[in-house]
A and B are shown apart, each in its own frame.
Chain A
Amino acid sequence: MTTNYNISSYCHIKNHQVSLNGSVVFSEEHSSFSEFIKAAYKAQETKYPKFFKMDYLSKLAFLAADILLKNQSLDSEKENNIALVFSNKASSLDTDILHQKAIQHKDNYYPSPAVFVYTLPNICLGEISIKYKLYSENSFFIFERFSADHLFTYSTNLLDTNKAESVLCGWVELEGENYEAFLYMVSKEGAIEHNKQNIITLYNT
């Protein structure tokens, strides 16, 4: 027997706007990504100094996840079995380029440890897991484009096999000033049926 799952909430960060369940909760036009994400973080009143040490991809993923997870009424004393399934196209290229610049010239060879540790895309999953004490399954996939098909199949499988009670999944893409995060929560709760068509519809909202 197949269990039906639902999407309980979703978050977009793109085009200088942060939205939760389709409603804009923060916007700041005419700002660079650096300025925008810092202002959005401050507006969310998430007191987490380590945010400022993260690379841009992690900041983007962390903020989108934080907006969803802070509304989940999680018990901080309890282990939360929320799997993370993220994807994007550019991997950690934005930070890889920064690292490459630091090691480009032999006579000015000063690689930054703080940059180097972010030269993998799945580090952003670790940042979210540390903040929310998640010891659950996590995966980061690289695709040519957003794949509702893969996210649906993978998250459904995690839930069907009791690997997770809920799944936070989606797309976090960042390359230079081009950025886009779309994350959503899947579990037995929620009003939107978890299916490929609904994922695509929400993604394009």
Chain B
Amino acid sequence: MEDLKQELKENIIEQLNLEDMSVEDIADDDMLFGDGLALDSIDALELIVMLDKNYGIKLTDPKEGRAIFESINTMAAYITEHRSK
């Protein structure tokens, strides 16, 4: 699980072009949206694509994303349970 969290942080920084951030800047329980990393709606769509491309998870209900993308902890838990690759 710790390896997956590290991988998620690296991918988020790279895929979402968070140029001024490093893995160390993102705590496992930081809010990804709102007051935390302040990601926006396009970032949310990128995360949905990332789940599909990297882990074979297709989110059909966008409302699901709200809980899944709350933090690195919630993302890692969801991926671990649902990944097909």
Q: Which residues of A contact B (CB under 8 A)?
A: 38, 49, 52-53, 110-114, 117
Contacts and interface: CB of A to CB of B under 8 A. Distances in A.
B42 A113 contact: yes
Contacts of B19: 38, 49, 52
A53 B13 CA distance: 11
Contacts of A114: 15-17, 42-43, 45-46
A110 B58 CA distance: 12
Given A110-B52, A110-B53, A52 B18 contact: yes
A112 B18 contact: no
Interface residues of B, number: 13
A49 B20 CA distance: 8
B26 interface: no
Interface string B7-24: 000000001111110000
Nearest to B54: A110
Contacts of A38: 19
Given A114-B43, A114-B45, 6 more contacts: A38-B19, A52-B19, A110-B53, A113-B46, A113-B49, A114-B46
17 contacts: A38-B19, A49-B18, A49-B19, A49-B20, A52-B17, A53-B17, A53-B42, A110-B49, A110-B53, A111-B49, A112-B49, A113-B42, A113-B49, A114-B15, A114-B42, A114-B43, A114-B46
A112 B47 CA distance: 10
B52 A112 contact: no
Contact of A117 (B17, B42, B52, B53): B42
A39 to B, nearest CB: 12
Contacts of B49: 110-113
A22 to B, nearest CB: 31
B44 to A, nearest CB: 9
Contacts of B17: 52-53, 114
A114 B44 CA distance: 10
A98 to B, nearest CB: 13
Contacts of A110: 49, 52-53
Interface in B21-55: 42-43, 45-46, 49, 52-53
B16 A53 contact: yes
A114 B15 CA distance: 9
A53 B52 CA distance: 21
Contacts of A49: 18-20
A111 B52 CA distance: 11
B12 to A, nearest CB: 12
